[in-house]
Structure 1
């Protein structure tokens, strides 16, 4: 009766050790993944775990291992901006989540709505409540990245940070993708090939603009540039500006699908037919491209794979491994109706 009453509540590490016939220290080593136990003792403890339904106390385990088994995914854009594109950030989050879940790790999601949000995550990281941080950003977000990297916790970001403290990152081949898009436009006979570039605060935006310039000038054409900020509204405004400054423009490479949607809207309102009068190519291959009218030719970046790779990199860093400081994944051109 005494033993039954004892195990009616959650079994303790002492209960586990007693049931397995080993010392408490040996039971603790097995529970916390140490290799410093014999195969026979490990098997005895594992059988006892099954027999008792033992579940480690997370707080006690973290004291032993100095690990929380928890990782933070930080979205540095505002909530409105993060979810204005229903594909990019959700797909990135899905990739990170899948990889961490497969590793048995917990994921917490943080949206940086204010400087208080940054400070909250910094405190959690500095206190050891997370083993690593993955930063998802469209704009580089160097102040956030520098703040989190300063805690000493492993940090990996998507996209090359545009300056400051070096942090490992995973990115798409942005310049190469832009060149693929412009090459398509040039080879189809377009003469006045413009671009709507992304924010100059974003390394991805800078790289896509650089790729555009290389390919356009290499074809003997004059660069025609308007700036956006990756939002649909900025794409429309930039397209109207291009039509005012260069009314004979007959093609435009747009640095994101969301901005390309805005550009298509501006072209319709201006009476221009796509692709007959103006060909349009976007970048990302998100839902904004799939459901555009006409369907948008675009440069596909492997968003889910970027997320999974970021998670693998931060897991390796947290495990004490050395990783490459950057991983760049290939892009590809997806041809639809707009170009």
Structure 2
């Protein structure tokens, strides 16, 4: 479809009149739920951007409001050291430029529609996974967007990311050169690019060393999931002598399980995390982990988004920030 989608095209796709489509986007009570759903679906499908705020704010004001589109469950985000550091730093950068930030949970169709209506001058996309509509819809919309982290497959969006692949590589090399041979991984969700990249970097090193199969348990970045994943790995490989948890929170849960099963860290099982969260030094033993520059990631993503908002959206200019293995007592 040439050019930006129009309201008339949204209405045609939804099978309603333009007036009805307009009322649906404005939140009118005169529109049925089923009609509103069809219009919302058409907005996402076409990438329609409404040029007037649905909140009836002056346009000059909405140009200075950035949506932090969170594509993960909000309770998990609020308990995540990574997300807290990322959001607080991004908000500070935007505030210094006279802009404000609104956190918008973006896991459903209605939430995606809110990002495309013109209520926000730009979108900071956080944690987008495969099969979620938000990435593809934003890529087609023309709204200024900057993804923190590599966007999901199928969504061509400019991004700033940390080198997750190299981080995984550093962990594998450290464990392998320290003599650990029976290794396992506590990975993240399969549909999350950052989780896949960390696992891929780890596997490549072992593949080059002749290891064709590594047991992998998947968690969701919570401590509890690290506990359960470690139990699964020990059940499958009771002689495990090294584990890579792709988040410090899951590494903490893994260490808890290892202790409960009578294993020492690092004596029996060397354990490595990823993030270098504030509590990594406070664990017993202190956690060997991959440090990712979260604050720098937030600064670069927010700064480039501001540039996109003031000079026009770009679809290039991606940046990849280095990671660093921090060796402590756990491995």
| Fold conserved between structures, TM > 0.5 | yes
Cross-structure match for 2:319:
327
State the secondary structure of the residue aligned to 2:297.
helix
Following superposition, the deviation at residue 327 of structure 1 comes to 1.1
Q: 1:109 to 1:96 in 2, by over 3 A?
A: same
Q: 1:91 to 1:138 in 2, by over 3 A?
A: farther
Cross-structure match for 2:303:
312
Distance 1:61 1:115 in 2: 24
Following superposition, the deviation at residue 302 of structure 1 comes to 0.7
Cross-structure match for 1:178:
168
Cross-structure match for 1:69:
64
Aligned residues: 274
- Judge conservation of contact 2:217–2:232 (CA < 8 Å) in 1: no
Q: 1:141 to 1:101 in 2, by over 3 A?
A: farther
Following superposition, the deviation at residue 283 of structure 1 comes to 0.6
Q: Which runs of 5+ in 2 are unaligned?
A: 1-56
Higher mean C-alpha deviation, range 321-330 or range 157-166:
321-330
Q: 1:61 to 1:160 in 2, by over 3 A?
A: closer
- Judge conservation of contact 2:148–2:161 (CA < 8 Å) in 1: yes
State the secondary structure of the residue aligned to 1:319.
helix
Superposition pairs of residues 224-243 of structure 1, within 5 angstroms: 224-228=214-218, 229-243=220-234
- Judge conservation of contact 2:128–2:152 (CA < 8 Å) in 1: no
Give the counterpart of 1:82 among 69, 73, 77: 77
Distance 1:271 1:139 in 2: 37
Following superposition, the deviation at residue 243 of structure 1 comes to 0.9
Superposition pairs of residues 105-144 of structure 1, within 5 angstroms: 105-112=99-106, 115-119=109-113, 121-122=114-115, 125-126=116-117, 128-137=118-127, 139=129, 142-144=132-134
Distance 2:110 2:277 in 1: 31
1:292 and 2:283 matched: yes
Q: Which entry has the higher C-alpha Rg, 1 or 2? A: 1
The two structures, once aligned, show a CA RMSD in angstroms of: 2.3
Following superposition, the deviation at residue 323 of structure 1 comes to 6.4
Higher mean C-alpha deviation, range 157-166 or range 140-149:
140-149
